């Protein structure tokens, strides 16, 4: 199911308010977010595996995805502003070159290249309809993806927070810093977050471990 932008933003408000009582949390008041935001050229995406299969965290899958993204970036440049990888989906924000909004072509290429590399490395797929097969689509990714145009600097910060808190929201990690498959650590190094942003390490809550067992991670 693909959520509307208002649903996603409402979900972010609920998650972040319940965690700290604040809707939008970026603790470093000195950070200059204007260096990150690009009017008209930033987009938030949710991309999901076919039938929500848990395959994206395995080493092979991560290498295939990295290679596919790098190849498309070389041919059709774009910048990944923020990203989080979860077992069956990913969220990210892209910054595209000025005057270029063809993210659909880029995602189609990434999905195709990933699927080709994934299947060549003994990855599996699910059966898809004859119509999708006739269009040379494989049973690795859902055909559609969700896209939201980032409206302004506040909207960007809102979605970046959502991305970096997502592993905690899904019960995959106790704190954002405990999840390795995220751009949170890069944002900390660049001074936009403190390492202990929304950290619960000192609490005794029963939080699941950082990752699913290897069999669920595709390894």
Distance CA 3, CA 65 (A): 24
- In the prediction, which pLDDT does 18 show? 45
Residue 19 structure tokens: 């965690």
Distance CA 64, CA 20 (A): 37
Mean pLDDT of the chain: 78
Full-model pTM: 0.77
Strand ranges inside the chain, DSSP E = 42-48, 79-85, 89-95, 146-149
Match 């040379």 to its residue by tokens. 136
Whether the predicted pLDDT of 179 surpasses 50: yes
Superfamily of the domain at 5-189: Transposase IS200-like (3.30.70.1290)
- Which of 85, 76, 48, 82 lies closest to 188, judged by CA? 82
Going by DSSP bridges, is the β-strand pair 146-149/42-48 parallel, antiparallel, or unpaired? antiparallel
Farthest-apart Cα atoms in the chain, separation: 54
pLDDT tens for residues 34-67? 678 887 899 999 999 998 999 899 999 999 999 9
Distance CA 17, CA 170 (A): 16
Mean pLDDT of 123-136: 52
Distance CA 117, CA 128 (A): 18
Under the banding of pLDDT at 50, 70 and 90, the label for residue 126 is: low
pLDDT tens for residues 137-158? 566 899 889 999 999 988 999 9
pLDDT tens for residues 67-112? 999 999 999 999 999 999 999 999 999 999 998 999 999 999 999 9
Residue 175 structure tokens: 């704190």
- On whether the CB atoms of residues 50 and 78 are closer than 8 A, the answer is no
Whether the predicted pLDDT of 6 surpasses 70: no
Beta-bridge mates of residue 94: 43, 80
């Amino acid at each position: 199911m693909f959520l509307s932008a208002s649903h996603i933003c409402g979900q972010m408000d609920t998650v972040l308010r319940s965690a700290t009582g604040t809707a939008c949390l970026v603790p470093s008041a000195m950070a200059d977010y204007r260096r990150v935001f690009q009017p008209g050229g930033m987009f938030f995406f949710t991309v999901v595996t076919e039938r929500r299969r848990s395959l994206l965290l395995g080493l092979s899958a991560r290498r295939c995805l990295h290679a596919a993204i790098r190849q498309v970036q070389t041919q059709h440049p774009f910048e990944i502003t923020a990203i989080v990888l979860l077992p069956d989906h990913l969220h990210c924000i892209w910054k595209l070159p000025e005057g270029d909004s063809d993210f659909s072509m880029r995602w189609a290429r990434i999905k195709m290249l990933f699927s080709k590399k994934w299947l060549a490395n003994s990855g599996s797929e699910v059966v898809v309809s004859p119509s999708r097969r006739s269009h040379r689509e494989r049973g690795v990714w859902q055909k559609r993806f969700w896209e939201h145009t980032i409206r302004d600097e506040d909207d960007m910060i809102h979605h970046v927070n959502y991305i970096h808190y997502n592993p905690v929201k899904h019960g995959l990690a106790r704190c954002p810093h405990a999840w390795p498959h995220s751009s949170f650590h890069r944002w900390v190094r660049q001074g936009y977050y403190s390492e202990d942003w929304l950290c619960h390490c000192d609490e005794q809550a029963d939080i699941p471990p950082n990752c699913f067992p290897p069999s669920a991670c595709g390894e």
